[in-house]
Amino acid sequence: MSIEENLNKIKKNISNNATLVAVSKTKPIEDIQIAYDLEQRDFGENKVQELIEKEEILPKDIRWHFIGNLQTNKVKYLVNKVYLIHSLSSIKLLKKIEDEFSKQNSTANLLIQINVGKEESKSGIYEEDLLELINEVEKCNSCKVMGLMAIIPKGNDEENRFYFKKMKSIFDDLSKKSYKNINMKILSMGMTHDYKIALEEGSNLIRVGEGIFGKRNIVGGMTNG
């Protein structure tokens, strides 16, 4: 199927209150431009250098989402380039983001990545460490947490639903409380093969790569789409 057919198919499956992020990592400018011409505006990258290179070339109204593991020494390159960072996973990273964005009087919009399955191979904080990170977020001036993100363990539909429900429960619990610099608006969960279940369980942002652009060559590591 073409990019247009794939996009139309996915958009029919999501409601107006859910955001589709097209995961464009490793994909050429031409493919992103096709999706853009079809009115897709949210794109996700997991490498800082690749995001910067594409941001410089492509239309300026694209909303770039950084969805990969963010190294502290790369944070400075994302200032004024990225719409939303999905992968806040430690206090150390939070402090670096605060430092680099404040230098340029810019605000970083963030999602806290939760390692809901406690997998050693994945980034993200454990649920029991969440409040410690939130306490540090409240001290910030240039960081705003907009919600949560998760990459769940691979499993069958029933197992996927279990982890999505768990994330929604954490999200709802935080939504009922009042914290400085935290506004629970976004629950980012669901990718190409499980986004329908994620949406059923309360996700309002899905990250789809292969389902839009087709299979990609993966060089080490895991995918986010």
For the chain, the domains span 3-209
The pTM assigned to this predicted structure is 0.93
Domain 3-209 sits in CATH at 3.20.20.10
Q: What is the pLDDT of residues 3-23, one digit of tens each?
A: 999 999 999 989 888 999 999
What are the residues facing 23 on neighbouring strands? 44
CA 198/CA 195 separation, integer angstroms:
5
pLDDT of residue 6: 96
Provide the pLDDT for residue 16.
82
- The encoded tokens of residue 125 equal 């904080």
Stretches where the chain sits below pLDDT 50 are: 218-223
Residue pair 133/94 in contact by the 8 Å Cβ criterion: yes
76-116 pLDDT, tens digit per residue, is 999 999 999 999 999 999 999 999 999 999 999 999 999 99
**pLDDT given at position 15:** 84
CA distance 171 to 221: 27
